A = this chain, B = another copy of it.
Amino acid sequence: MTNTSSPIRVTFERLAQFITASMAQLGLPSADAAVIGRLMAEADLQGSDGHGVIRLPQYARRIRAGGINVTPSIKVVQERPGMALLDGDNGMGHLVMQRAAEMAIEKARVCGVAWVGTQFSNHAGPASLYARMPMAQNMIGLYFAVGNANHLPPWGGLDMLLSTNPIAVALPAGEEPPVVLDMATTVAAYGKVKAKAQRGEMMPLGWMIDRLGQPLTDPKRAEEGFLMPIGGYKGYGLALIVGLLAGTLNGAAMGSEVIDFNHDDTSVTNTGQSILAIDLSAFGDVDAFKARVDRLVRELRDSERMPGVERIWLPGEQSHDRRAHYEREGIPLAPALMAQLDKVALELGVPTLLTT
C-alpha cells in the first residue's frame, strides 16, 4: 500500500519501458516507441515533469484520434552542407527532433556549425532535451520551438497569437555541470499555471493578466487571461522571434495557424522546431573551452551573495542535481498522475507502471 499523498518513485528504466510499451500498443514501430520512451522518461529524470510522462494520456488520445501519424516517413526537403529542413510527416515530435539533432551534429562536424529545422513535427517535450544532445559530441546546442498553444498576445494586445515559444541552450563544461538554459519567453510557462491550479494554489503577481490588463492570480481563471512575457515588450519580441525562427522559417505553423493541441486532437499541428549545433573543436581546443566555462561557473557561484541568499545557481545546475538524485532514488510521480497512467495502461492493455 502506498501513501496517497506522497509521490510514488519509479526507475528511469521502468518509466521508459512503460512509455515504450504504451507507444508500441498505440501502433508505433518498436524502435520508434523505444526512442520516445527514453526521451519522455529523460524529461522526467531531469525534472521537466510538465513535459515527460504527464503528456502520455494526451499523446495517446491524440494518436487514437488520428491526430498523429504513427508510421511517418520523415524526410529531408531542403539541404545544404550546414543546414537541412525536415518534413516530419506529422510524426511524434520526439522522433522528428531526434533525427534533426542527429543531422545537425553530423553537419556541424564538417561545417563547424549546422542548423536543422522541422516542419510537420509535433510537441517534442522539454526544449533542453534537444539542446543537450550535441553536448555528448563536444558541441553546443541551441533549440527554438513554436509552442503548441497560444497563450500570449502581442504587447498591448488581447488576441493570443503567440505561444510561450521556448529557447534552450546547452554548453558543456569540464568538471562542472553543463550550463543549460531552458526557458519559456513568458514569466511562467503554462504548465506551471496548470500545476498551481491542480495544487489549489494562487499564482504570484506578474504571471498573468486579465483582458483589462489587471493582475490575474487565480489559476482556475487562467482561461480569462494570458501569460505575461518576460521584460514586457522584450519577452513579446523574443516569443515572436523564436516563432519566426522555428515556425515561419521552416514553413511551419505560426500565429493564428497554431493548433491548440489541448483542445484539438485531430488537426495536423505542423509544429516547427529548429536546432543549431556548434562544434567546439572548430573554435579551438575543446578542453581549453571547458576549462574557461569551469572558471566562469565557479566565479559566479563563489561570488558575493545578497543578504539571505543561500546559494547562487547556474542555469541547469538544479536540474543536474535533480537528475543525480532521481537516478539514485527513482523518479517521483504524483498519485493523481499515477492514477491517470494506470488508466492509460488499462486502456492499452499494457502492464501498469508498478507491475514488476
Contact = CB atoms under 8 A, between A and B. Distances in A.
A238 B315 CA distance: 9
A11 B161 CA distance: 40
A179 to B, nearest CB: 7
State which size class the interface on A falls in.
Answer: 35 or more
Given A112-B81, A181-B237, A300 B169 contact: no
Given A296-B248, A296-B254, A306-B211, A315 B80 contact: no
A289 B153 CA distance: 23
Interface string A226-262: 0000110111111011001100111100111000000
A127 interface: no
Contact of A312 (B79, B156, B278, B289): B156
Contact of A157 (B108, B230, B279, B312): B312
Contacts of A183: 231, 234, 237-238
A282 interface: yes
Interface of A: 78-83, 85, 108, 110-115, 117, 140, 153-159, 161, 169, 171, 179, 181, 183, 187, 211-213, 230-231, 233-238, 240-241, 244-245, 248-251, 254-256, 276, 278-280, 282-284, 288-289, 292-293, 295-296, 299-301, 303-307, 309, 311-315
